[in-house]
Chains A and B, each alone.
Chain A
Amino acid sequence: MPVHSKLEKFEDNWRTSIGGWSLEGKVVLRGKDVFTELNEKPWMEYLLYAATGKESPKIARLMEAMWVICTSFPDPRIWNNRISALAGTARSTGVLAAAGSLAVTEATIYGLKPIKGATDFFYRAEARLSEGKSLEQIVKAELKQFRSIYGYGRPIVDADERVKPMMEFARSIDCGNGKFVKLAFDIDKYLSNTRLKYRINIAAVCAALLADEGLSPMDFYHMATLAFTAGAIPCFIDASNQHEGGFFPLRTSRLSFTGVEEVRHWEV
């Protein structure tokens, strides 16, 4: 029978260099034996290798500090954590709570979109600078096209309290002196003097730090996937251990209805 479908060659045939488990009990990740070559790695280094193929204790340590300092505030009022708290108060499971929290961190005004978007912006900005464009031209073009710049500005408050401790930590491990970090703060300085008054937020700081270590936007995106778990899990535990339904209950008067006022009848 002649081959018709583009899919036939893939039937029962998954070709991969990422790795896998074999019947003999061997586990391979990106060409390395998990039990003999990767078994002593700290988890963050293992994740870095799994997600990016890079082996760097320095990047892993930097990433770990980002998870601690920047992404895991245990406050159930924060949108992604709130999902875990709601799951706890509604007596759902911890994993479902974490899954919901993580899923929503792929957000536009915080989380994964700014993380990936800021890294992408810095690489594009750097390329434009090399072509001879000025910083002002680059920023104005970005604002004109997208009306925002990932990594600058912040919902609710202006300044980002995480910038200083993150940069202090980065410098303690000899990071934070590269061209992308300089670019990030140059843009901060420029934007703060415009009518927008946007200030740098932690997404831009982390993006620049990791771009200086050679991580691509996709590298950072994959490494940030689980970054918010340490904030979500305690919020679930807290709500689970308190009165069921007790997390910010809403009385009916908390609905502000702005729709059709008259009572309508559904004619059959």
Chain B
Amino acid sequence: MTDKSVETITTKIWRETPESDNPFAAADCFCSGYDVYGDLLKNASLIDYLYLLFKLERPTSQQSALLEGLAIALANPGPRDHSVRAAMSAGVGGSTHASALIAALSVGAGNLGGAREVFHAMEYWQLCATNLQDWQQIIKNPPQEGRADVWSPMEHPPGFDPNGISCPTPVIKTLAHLVEVGQTPHLSWLQDNRQQLEEFADCPLAFSGVAAAALFDLIFCLSRQRCSIYYCACPVLPFTLWSRKNLAGGSTLFLPMASN
């Protein structure tokens, strides 16, 4: 390489030092100051490392327990779920392992039970916080998109299941667990006011609503780290663990795209 000015990748996440014999191979890798292969590999849990990659800070024990609980709750929505059915459609035809992940992410990104719904629900949290009247108003008069987007407009209050009858037991159990381990304000308020909110929405709370509150409490800021919301809400983990033994896209778990 000549001395002429070259483009670089600006990052707050990752620092490397080169091997002495190869400038294209890293000898040491630091994630937000932590030595990945000399320290994190031995000492950090997967969920803490995930938090670190997105937030650049180590989680507190409560934050760690909250994110882990959320990850387990979302990890496998079961073979009736749209995104899992997408992955199984890849599996049944003998498609590539990576295509199962692409299929599941594509389906699990949507306005119904997916990452886009979580994003919209987090917008509601940002606007309404713990003001019940504001929630009533926004559910009654949802914000209108000003111009066309590739995403279609929401057809139901985000965070609630338009096809539900009553709040399913797994959603209630997950909410209760996250409140217990996280002790965070928005999840606690959601638990206390769930039935009132469900009356406003005329449908029950869904996993997407719990995930939005949990992520809001974990301070995954909407504008800066939207990708992290997508990641956490999309069922990425399940296919590495459940229907696939050797998922080619496994490393995409750690694409630290949000803050780069």
Cβ proximity bits B225-250 to A, threshold 8 Å, 1 near / 0 not: 00000000000000000000000100
Contact B99 A99 (CB under 8 A): yes
Contact A146 B147 (CB under 8 A): yes
For the complex, is A243 an interface residue (Cβ under 8 Å from B)? Answer: no
For the complex, is B177 an interface residue (Cβ under 8 Å from A)? Answer: no
Interface residues of A in 1-41 (CB under 8 A from B): 4-7
Contact A259 B11 (CB under 8 A): yes
Q: For the complex, give the distance between the alpha carbons of A221 and B148 in Å.
A: 11
For the complex, is A250 an interface residue (Cβ under 8 Å from B)? Answer: yes
User: Could you tell me the distance in whole angstroms from the C-beta of B36 to the nearest C-beta in chain A?
Assistant: 10
For the complex, is A92 an interface residue (Cβ under 8 Å from B)? Answer: yes
Contact A265 B39 (CB under 8 A): yes
Q: What residue of chain B has the Cβ atom nearest to residue A254's Cβ?
A: B8
User: Could you tell me the distance in whole angstroms from the C-beta of B54 to the nearest C-beta in chain A?
Assistant: 13
Contact A264 B43 (CB under 8 A): no
Contact A96 B15 (CB under 8 A): no
For the complex, is B139 an interface residue (Cβ under 8 Å from A)? Answer: no
Cβ proximity bits B10-21 to A, threshold 8 Å, 1 near / 0 not: 111111111000
Q: What residue of chain A has the Cβ atom nearest to residue B203's Cβ?
A: A6
For the complex, is B6 an interface residue (Cβ under 8 Å from A)? Answer: yes
Contact A255 B44 (CB under 8 A): no
Contact A266 B44 (CB under 8 A): yes
Residues of A within 8 A of B147 (CB): 117, 120-121, 124, 146, 150
**Interface bin, chain A:** 35 or more
Residues of A within 8 A of B92 (CB): none
Residues of A within 8 A of B8 (CB): 253-256
Residue with the greatest number of chain B CB neighbours at <10 A, chosen from A116, A257, A268: A257
Residues of B within 8 A of A221 (CB): 150
For the complex, is B163 an interface residue (Cβ under 8 Å from A)? Answer: yes
Interface residues of A in 242-268 (CB under 8 A from B): 249-268
Contact A253 B163 (CB under 8 A): no
User: Could you tell me the distance in whole angstroms from the C-beta of A122 to the nearest C-beta in chain B?
Assistant: 11
For the complex, is B79 an interface residue (Cβ under 8 Å from A)? Answer: no
Residues of B within 8 A of A95 (CB): 96, 99
For the complex, is A112 an interface residue (Cβ under 8 Å from B)? Answer: yes
Q: For the complex, give the distance between the alpha carbons of A267 and B43 in Å.
A: 8
Q: A5-B165, A255-B16, A258-B11 are in contact. Are A263 and B35 (CB under 8 A)?
A: yes
Contact B10 A256 (CB under 8 A): yes
Q: What residue of chain B has the Cβ atom nearest to residue A107's Cβ?
A: B150
Residues of B within 8 A of A264 (CB): 32-34
Q: What residue of chain A has the Cβ atom nearest to residue B148's Cβ?
A: A120
**Interface bin, chain B:** 35 or more
Q: A116-B150, A257-B15 are in contact. Are A251 and B24 (CB under 8 A)?
A: yes
Interface residues of A in 75-94 (CB under 8 A from B): 92-93
Q: What residue of chain A has the Cβ atom nearest to residue B103's Cβ?
A: A99
Interface residues of A in 186-232 (CB under 8 A from B): 217, 221
Residues of A within 8 A of B149 (CB): 113, 116-117
Contact B12 A258 (CB under 8 A): yes
For the complex, is A145 an interface residue (Cβ under 8 Å from B)? Answer: yes
Residues of B within 8 A of A262 (CB): 33
Which residue of B6, B30, B56, B98 contacts A254 across the interface (Cβ within 8 Å)? B6
Residues of A within 8 A of B11 (CB): 255-259
Q: For the complex, give the distance between the alpha carbons of A262 and B30 in Å.
A: 10
Interface residues of B in 112-156 (CB under 8 A from A): 146-150
For the complex, is B194 an interface residue (Cβ under 8 Å from A)? Answer: no
Interface residues of A in 54-101 (CB under 8 A from B): 92-93, 95-96, 99-100
Q: What residue of chain A has the Cβ atom nearest to residue B106's Cβ?
A: A103
Contact B146 A6 (CB under 8 A): no
Q: For the complex, give the distance between the alpha carbons of A217 and B145 in Å.
A: 15
Q: For the complex, give the distance between the alpha carbons of A117 and B148 in Å.
A: 6
Give me the 6 closest cross-chain CB pairs, A-B, nearest first: A120-B148, A259-B12, A260-B33, A256-B8, A264-B33, A257-B15
Q: List 12 other contacts, CB 8 Å, given A255-B8, A259-B13.
A: A5-B165, A6-B162, A7-B163, A99-B99, A120-B147, A145-B146, A252-B17, A252-B18, A254-B8, A256-B11, A260-B56, A265-B39
A selection of 21 A-B contacts at a CB cut-off of 8 Å is A4-B165, A93-B96, A96-B96, A99-B102, A116-B148, A119-B148, A145-B146, A146-B147, A221-B150, A250-B9, A252-B18, A255-B16, A256-B8, A257-B12, A259-B13, A259-B32, A260-B33, A264-B32, A265-B34, A266-B40, A266-B43
